Structure 1
Amino acid sequence: MILQTENRNCPCGSGKSYSECCRPFHRGEPAPTPEALMRSRYVAFVLNLPDYLRTTWHRSTRPEALTLEDSPGWASLQILTTGESGESANVHFRAIYRLGEGWGCLEENSDFVREQGRWYYLRGDTSEGPLKPGRNEPCPCGSGRKHKACCL
């Protein structure tokens, strides 16, 4: 899947190609900001990269094992707010996914910490539920088209 993604738009929604956006982080380069780390972690869910997720998870809260077998079909990411104060940060995001014939939404306030120049995901407060976009709203898939003309 990664090879097919190299020159396509990055799934994180930045508008850049995957090779210019999240791929360097997946190959070991440290993410320069908590938002960049959050975007690269979202893409790791999309591309099924559990090792990257564990590597970027702070050791104090990191699960011993992580499997993405039951992960939904992620469709788009929206960064709602970001905040940084010294060695800690917060990113509030919404991730949209396919839910049967409809859509689901995972919203999280994520905490990050910086150690030795690297940002790590620490923890998050999540809420989840169905998403019911209107016909004339932007399509949840991230295409930029109206929902009625895209995935309805």
Structure 2
Amino acid sequence: MKDTDPCPCGRTDAKGRVRAFGQCCGPLLAGAPAPDAEALMRSRYTAFVLLDGEYLWRTWHPDHRPDVPELEAPTKWLGLEVREHRVIDPDHAEVEFVARFRAAGRGGRIHERSRFERDADGRWVYVDGEMR
């Protein structure tokens, strides 16, 4: 994906335009720390779109993460809607989102309230989520 392409996460700028990948999730996937839990969640969605299982694994809390996820290329991610970003305290937050996809010719959606926390290095990591 080119830095100038629209970011898959769909985050918009002040004028309502989808931000460029290089100004949105691209730096996070390249190793920059996420500024908050919502940015991390959006970058994880982008990692699903780009089949970047290594990034998903690195940003998963070590006490909860599985082996490096094997992502299925036939899944087409169609869009992300962030419904709420709730800061609980400086080191804990929740993000509620809906992600739409198509797989094997059928549409679907994931509606989840995800929990995030800062790790020992001060980086946000995904802990777990509750499906809605």
Would the TM-score normalized by the shorter structure come out above 0.5?
yes
How much has 1:69 moved relative to structure 2? 2.1
Instruction: Indicate which of 35, 41, 54 corresponds to 2:38.
Output: 35
Q: Distance in 2 between matches of 1:72 and 1:61?
A: 24
Which structure is higher in RCO with an 8 Å CA cutoff and minimum separation 6? Answer: 2
1:11-65 C-alpha deviation (Å, 9 max, x unpaired):
1001100011000000100000100000000000000100000000000001123
Counterpart check, 1:62 vs 2:65: yes
Structure number, greater radius of gyration: 1
Contact 2:4-2:22 within 8 A present in 1 as well? yes
- Contact (CA 8 Å) 2:44, 2:56: kept in 1 or not? yes
The answer as to whether partners of 1:83 and 1:90 remain within 8 angstroms in 2 is: yes
Equivalent in 121, 124, 131 of residue 119 of structure 1: 124
Instruction: Provide the residue aligned with 1:22 in structure 2.
Output: 25
Runs of 4+ deviating beyond 6 Å: none
Q: Percent identity?
A: 40
TM-score, length of structure 1 as denominator length: 0.76
Instruction: Extract unaligned runs of 5+ from structure 2.
Output: 12-17
Deviation at 1:111, TM superposition (A): 0.3
Q: TM-score, normalised by structure 2?
A: 0.87
1:10 is aligned with what amino acid?
C
Give the Å deviation of 1:98.
1.8
| C-alpha distance in structure 2 between counterparts of 1:6 and 1:75, whole Å | 20
RMSD of Structure 2 on Structure 1 (CA): 1.5
